[in-house]
Amino acid sequence: MTTNGRDTHFQGFADLLFPEISKLFFTMYARILEHRQIEEIDAIEDEIRTLIAQGAYDLAIHVLSHANERMNLKLTNIKAWVDLGIPDLTEWPTRGSPDLPEQQ
């Protein structure tokens, strides 16, 4: 792993999420090896996606809460700001865009 902020700044978040994701992937692969119904495997894939979405949502709340406090933004309902003001990320920002600066 590199030492740039994009790779390391939210390592604690990754450490929190990894055990749960790892457990679900293990369960999914066990189901595949057991030749279980595809619906069982699809259900685990859905659980993985949901877990990642929940983690991203919680991270957005965390970031906005800290920004609100440190930058004195005076936001009164952080959850509403996340729900209404932050769109879903449906594709990765391209390198060099304002959303993702070039790596150092």
Q: What pLDDT does 104 receive?
A: 46
Q: What pLDDT does 37 receive?
A: 94
Is residue 1 included in any domain, yes or no? Answer: no
Q: What pLDDT does 103 receive?
A: 54
Q: What pLDDT does 98 receive?
A: 66
Dihedral angle over CA of 74, 63, 69, 100, nearest 10: -80
Is residue 6 included in any domain, yes or no? Answer: no
Residues 6+ apart with CB under 8 A from 41: 28, 31, 32
> What domain range includes position 74?
14-85
Domain count, the chain: 1
Per-residue pLDDT of the chain (104 residues; tens, 9 = 90+): 678 888 899 999 999 999 999 999 999 999 999 999 999 999 999 999 999 999 999 999 999 999 989 998 888 899 999 999 899 999 988 876 666 655 54
Is residue 103 included in any domain, yes or no? Answer: no
Q: What pLDDT does 23 receive?
A: 97
Is residue 23 included in any domain, yes or no? Answer: yes
Q: What pLDDT does 35 receive?
A: 95
